[in-house]
Amino acid sequence: MYYLRARFSGYGKCSNCNEYNTFPVWCQTCDPKETTQGWTSGDKALYDFIKNHQLETIAYDEVIEWIPFDKLKNMKLIGEGGFSTVFSAIWLDGVRKVEYEDGKYKRTRETSCKVAVKTLSSEDGSSDSLVEFKNHIECRMKGTGLEVYGLTRYDNKYMMVFQYANEGNLHQCLQSNFKRLHGKINYNC
């Protein structure tokens, strides 16, 4: 759900509208529109899906991105079973970050960072994969602590790029946080 946060002088000014930002280095009026420009997934359904999430983003470091597969290097199999396969990889562009330096916020990236890449359940790249991705986003918003960065595609398969959890997998994360999360997540299966 989209809502406009209050503007605050401590977050800096938007370079487009010259109003104070609504979050550190983020103008909720201008920046979501800018994130939808300059990229394409080559797939209208996927593009529209990511674009809709981008338009609802309230902070720079929460943007869901289209991640070109060639920006993921050193793919290593770390798990498989059920309906998916999970790899670790190095994301060359890296995770979006907001840093505070010399009294000002600035946008940056943690380049060449380790991420997890999970094939999504549908083999044919259908909208079922997007439903699974949406469920992961819902878990993120409800506080699982596992960040989701975006989507990529390889060999006609959608793949989710998310935080590398060196302490276990998503199943273990959900299992250990079940009591805290129960009733907060609406699974659309």
Domains of the chain: 16-181 (3.30.200.20)
Q: What is the pLDDT of residue 134?
A: 79
Q: What is the pLDDT of residue 60?
A: 94
Q: What is the pLDDT of residue 1?
A: 41
Spans of the chain, pLDDT less than 50:
1-2, 189
Helix 44-55 with 127-141: angle, nearest 10 deg:
20
Q: What is the pLDDT of residue 146?
A: 77
Instruction: Give the strands of the sheet with 65-66, arranged side by side.
Output: 65-66, 148-154, 157-163, 113-119, 84-91, 72-81
Q: What is the pLDDT of residue 90?
A: 98
- Per the DSSP assignment, residues forming a β-bridge with 104 are 101
**DSSP-derived secondary structure letter, 152:** E
Q: What is the pLDDT of residue 189?
A: 44
